[in-house]
């Protein structure tokens, strides 16, 4: 991949990848770091990227995986004894937002498989109904129904006392 193609990919995809990372991580600074890491990796792998069929999809996949890695590190940090943990620099609002986002992710994970799949593709990947249908093999109507049911179930789960 030449430098102008990389620059075009960066300019066109940065906002979308940042939005994806923000939804997954629920933290703007971490989202920006994740996207920066992804583009750094893409730049380092630029010679082999010519073989990639869809650089945009590849960048989205890398972003999603980087965010998951970051969430796993957070979980390890949370399981670490307090005297060994690095100091946290979160405000109360950031901590609450992160906690809420993690609770929503947990609720999505307990949805029935079809509902969870379409909801994850919508929320985490930002796909529309047609893209979800082509990705999953479901019909457009099935995707619409599954999203509707998933939203209804999520609403029930989120309105329950924690």
Topology of domain 91-162 in CATH is Arc Repressor Mutant, subunit A (1.10.10)
pLDDT above 80 for 9: yes
Contact at 8 Å (CB) between 40 and 19? Answer: no
At 143 the pLDDT is 94
Q: Mean pLDDT over residues 79-99, rounded?
A: 59
CATH architecture of 1-89: Orthogonal Bundle (1.10)
Residue ranges covered by each domain of the chain? 1-89, 91-162
At 83 the pLDDT is 56
CA distance 14 to 124: 15
- The confidence band for 1, taking pLDDT boundaries of 50, 70 and 90, is low
> What's the pLDDT tens digit per position in 90-124?
566 666 666 677 778 888 888 888 998 999 899 88
């Amino acid at each position: 991949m030449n430098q102008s193609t990389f620059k075009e990919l960066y300019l066109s995809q940065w906002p979308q990848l940042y939005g994806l990372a923000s939804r997954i991580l629920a933290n703007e600074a971490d989202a920006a770091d994740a996207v920066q890491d992804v583009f750094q990796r893409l730049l380092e792998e630029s010679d082999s990227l010519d073989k990639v069929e869809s650089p945009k999809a590849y960048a989205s996949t890398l972003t999603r995986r980087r965010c998951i890695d970051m969430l796993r590190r957070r979980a390890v940090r949370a399981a670490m004894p307090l005297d060994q943990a690095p100091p946290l620099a979160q405000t109360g609002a950031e901590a609450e937002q992160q906690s809420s986002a993690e609770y929503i992710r947990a609720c999505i994970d307990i949805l029935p498989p079809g509902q969870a799949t379409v909801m994850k593709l919508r929320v985490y990947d930002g796909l529309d109904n047609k893209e979800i249908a082509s990705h999953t093999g479901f019909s457009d109507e099935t995707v619409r129904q599954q999203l509707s049911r998933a939203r209804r179930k999520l609403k029930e789960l989120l309105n329950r006392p924690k």
